[in-house]
């Protein structure tokens, strides 16, 4: 599976939104600058994330974007699925009626296992996990 740029940028944008403390929203301009994503491209990504209930918009002069749920409740699987749809390597795993040989296919076990492992990995990482990982990488290590 090769992820689209939209999926990768969406993950970066959500982590940037999640960094905001409390109910203080972040502007699209701030996300664009910190993540080096064009404003029009990011706008399309944010619309999808809002429609999926992952982020919310806050109107007004101090408005912007905020997470719609806690960071530990948002998995990478949810983000990737919003932009990629199915993560299956072959169509027959999603819909066995796509292939008349599915019942007796000697390779279907591979494609099913591949999809399951990808799904399990993506579900195992939450936005909170990625934020913590990023904080740990930035923390200076003091040795005496």
Which CATH number covers residue 26? Answer: 1.10.10.10
pLDDT at residue number 132? 86
111 within domain boundaries: no
Q: Domains in the chain: how many in total?
A: 1
Tokens 């599976």 belong to which residue?
A: 1
62 within domain boundaries: yes
Estimate to the nearest angstrom the gap between the alpha carbon of 16 and the chain centroid: 12
Give the mean pLDDT of the chain: 89
Cβ–Cβ under 8 Å, residues 7 and 83: yes
Considering all CA atoms of the chain, what is the largest pairwise distance in Å, rounded to the nearest integer? 67
Estimate to the nearest angstrom the gap between the alpha carbon of 57 and the chain centroid: 18
Q: Which residues contact 123 (CB under 8 A, 6 or more apart)?
A: 75, 76, 77
pLDDT at 139 over 80: no
pLDDT at 89 over 60: yes
| DSSP single-letter state for residue 67 | E
Residue 128 CA to residue 130 CA, distance in Å, equals 5
pTM strictly above 0.85: no
Alpha carbon dihedral 19, 20, 23, 24, in 10-degree steps, equals -160
Beta bridge partners of 26: 65
* Three-class DSSP category at 1: coil
Residue 38 CA to residue 64 CA, distance in Å, equals 16
102 within domain boundaries: no
- Domain span at residue 81? 5-86+126-135
112 within domain boundaries: no
Considering only residues 74 and 21, tell me which one the structure prediction assigns the higher pLDDT.
74
Residue range 41-56, pLDDT digits in tens: 999 999 999 999 999 9
31 — pLDDT class (breaks 50, 70, 90): very high
């Amino acid at each position: 599976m090769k992820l689209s740029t939209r999926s990768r940028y969406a993950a970066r944008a959500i982590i940037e939104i999640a960094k905001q403390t409390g109910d203080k929203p972040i502007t699209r301009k701030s996300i664009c600058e910190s993540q080096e994503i064009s404003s029009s491209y990011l706008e399309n990504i944010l619309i999808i994330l809002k429609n999926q209930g992952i982020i919310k918009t806050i109107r007004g002069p101090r408005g912007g974007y905020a997470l719609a749920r806690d960071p530990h409740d948002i998995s990478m699987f949810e983000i990737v699925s919003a932009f990629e749809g199915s993560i299956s390597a072959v169509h027959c795993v999603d819909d066995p009626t796509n292939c008349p040989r599915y019942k007796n296919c000697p390779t279907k076990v591979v494609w099913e296992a591949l999809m399951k492992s990808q799904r399990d990995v993506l579900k195992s990482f939450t936005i909170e996990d990625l934020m913590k990982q990023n904080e740990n990488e930035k923390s200076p290590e003091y040795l005496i």
